[in-house]
Chains A and B, each alone.
Chain A
Amino acid sequence: MRLRWEYILAIAGLLVLWWILYLWLGEQIIAEPAATFGRLVRELGDPEFRGHIYASLYRIVAGMLIALATAVPLGLLTGGSERVDRWLKPLIYLTYPIPKIVFLPLLLMLLGIGDASKIGLIAIILFFHLLATTRDAARAVPPSAVSSLRSLGGGSLALLRHVYWPATMPALFTSLRIATGTVVAVLFFVETIATFRGIGYYIYSSWSVTDITGMAVGIIILSAVGIVFYELFDVLERSLCRWTRYR
């Protein structure tokens, strides 16, 4: 209950701040809060607007799933094996600092202007976050945990399932939570290019016709998407990694 009240207070504080900024800067720059929420309610009843939300959610979820399905096994493999790590580490270190967003033109040429290139960019950006985290967490597994399982007769698969995977899960959820903000930002960017679907497009097109209220509606939805994913990862971590409370 305490958490819920803190949330309500935080939302109230943000609304007050928004209202002050509106009064200070005027409706040419900041949308009027009450009108924005009225528009938001109307838009949520509009199937076309909901289609924008679904398009954005689809791109985020698909990008996340692709990144998880590729980065986690590779991270576990690299972090769990000195030999694999020796070969892959230089590649990871060389490619990790590259701003992946610059690959969008290349992805547009390779995958076309549809969803694939947008999902691809989200997946690539998230992939490197998750790969680095999973690798580091797997490398931090104490050798005694490995020898303990091996002494019980566990092989490589048992090690992955019973040691490396559960040991890296908390770090993975932390990485997903941190990356949520980046993913939403990238989503906005990719949805401003070569598309007519998605909340990013909705914000961009509202801006192009100086529809300040429309922009605010889009920003609220995009923020809500980020908050929902952040909270979802938090809930998942609390239920799947209960043991971390007793570390």
Chain B
Amino acid sequence: MEPTSPELLSLQTVSHSYRTYPAVEPVLQDVSFSLNEGASLALLGPSGCGKSTLLMLAAGLLSPLTGSCVFSGQELSRPHPAIALMQQQYGLFPWKTVRQNIELSLLLRQSRVEDAQLQQLIGELGISGKLQDYPGQLSGGQQQRVALARSLLLHPRLMLLDEPFGALDSITRERLQDLLRSVWQREGFAMLTVTHSMQEAVMLGERILVMGGQPGRILHEIDNSGMRAPAFRDSRESAVVLEQLRRALGEAA
């Protein structure tokens, strides 16, 4: 039996509301889950169920109104240098070149990287020769590769992904999912992905939490531990998990 890796992120009975004066709009209710070092978790649910709020809490960008959000044994009250956030859109700053976008993250984290290391990474991600371009000159897939490069250079222990490939065409989306899976398995960071795509949840989460309701809460947890296998995408196991998810979402609705 494989030893269990230590717990990295833990959310305990987290509830959160947004104040839209004079009303208070509850978005999350009693959400609890944990994520171990090097593991992956996908949060799946319809729009408006509080998935992105949950990610903001895990990024230390919001504090829960009740409950606790603990990263590496410490209560999260601000962004942590070992956590990287990759967003669906606007994760890159359009007014900065690719190089400036990447260097900004290092500058703010007071980190440095050798040029050779940077060149190796962007070569691996297929964006060589794009360093002087602005994000607007790149395709959606290339932009997400840059965002991935920016996050990877920070050597995070936890990677948070908010609908990472939602805006891409299906071929590019599959390629980037495969790229992310291989980098994740090699680098060993933990990964928390928020998505409304069942297929993406199956490809990126060893555990899948199905969210629903308003305020949002966790309705089902589905084990997907076989997803590390190289040929998982076309396996019978992925089809079974997909079917399980479909049923769970149907019940949630």
- Which of B65-73, B81-89, B205-213 faces chain A? B81-89
Q: Please, what's the 1-or-0 string for A142-178, where 1 marks a CB less than 8 Å from any CB in chain B?
A: 1011011111111000100011001101000000000
User: Does A2 have its Cβ within 8 Å of any Cβ on chain B?
Assistant: no
Give the residue name and chain of the B residue nearest to A147 (CB). Answer: B61
Q: Known contacts A162-B104, A243-B134, A246-B137; is A151 also within 8 Å of B79 by CB?
A: yes
User: Is B89 in contact with A162, judged by CB distance below 8 angstroms?
Assistant: no
CA distance A246 to B96 in the complex (A): 12
Is A246 in contact with B134, judged by CB distance below 8 angstroms? yes
- Give the A-B pair count, Cβ closer than 8 A: 68
Cβ of A39 under 8 Å from chain B: no
Task: Judge whether A247 is part of the interface by a CB distance below 8 angstroms.
Answer: yes
Instruction: Specify the chain A residue showing the minimal Cβ separation from B104.
Output: A162
B231, CB-defined interface residue at 8 Å: no
Instruction: Say yes or no for B26: interface residue by CB 8 A criterion.
Output: no
Contact A152 B94 (CB under 8 A): no
Let me know if A142 and B134 touch, CB within 8 A: no
A246 to B88, CA, bound (A): 19
A242 at the A/B interface (Cβ < 8 Å)?
A: yes
Q: Render B110-154 as a binary contact track against A, CB cut-off 8 A, 1 for contact.
A: 000000000000000000000000111100000000000000000
Cβ-based interface call for A241 (8 A): yes
The number of chain B residues with a CB under 8 A from chain A is 28
| Total count of chain A residues near the partner, CB < 8 A | 23
DSSP majority for the B interface? loop
B95:A148 contact, CB within 8 angstroms: no
Q: Which of A149, A152, A243 has the most CB of B within 10 A?
A: A152
B198 interface hit (Cβ, 8 Å):
no
Most chain A C-beta atoms within 10 Å of own C-beta, residue among B59, B90, B92, B95: B95
| A151-B83 in contact given A142-B90, A242-B134, A243-B134 (Cβ < 8 Å) | yes
Nearest CB of B to A165, in Å: 9
Judge whether A163 and B93 touch: CB under 8 Å. yes
Other-chain residue from B60, B81, B87, B109 in contact with A148 (beta carbon distance below 8 A)? B87
A117 to B61, CA, bound (A): 47
Please give, as numbers and ranges, the residues of chain A lying within 8 Å of B83 by CB-CB distance: 151
Whether A148 lies near B90 (C-beta < 8 A) is: yes
> Nearest-CB distance from A141 to chain B (Å)?
9
Question: In the complex the two chains form, what is the Cα distance from A150 to B105 in whole Å?
Answer: 10
Residues of chain B within 8 A (CB-CB) of A149 are: 93, 108
The 6 closest A-B pairs by CB, nearest first: A246-B136, A151-B85, A166-B95, A144-B90, A243-B134, A152-B108
Q: State the B residues within 8 Å of A (CB).
A: 56, 59-61, 79, 81, 83-85, 87-96, 104-105, 108-109, 134-137, 160
**A residues with CB within 8 A of B:** 142, 144-145, 147-154, 158, 162-163, 166-167, 169, 241-243, 245-247
Give 15 A-B contacts (CB < 8 Å), ordered by A residue. A144-B90, A145-B90, A147-B59, A148-B85, A148-B93, A153-B81, A153-B108, A169-B95, A242-B134, A243-B95, A243-B96, A243-B135, A245-B136, A246-B136, A246-B137
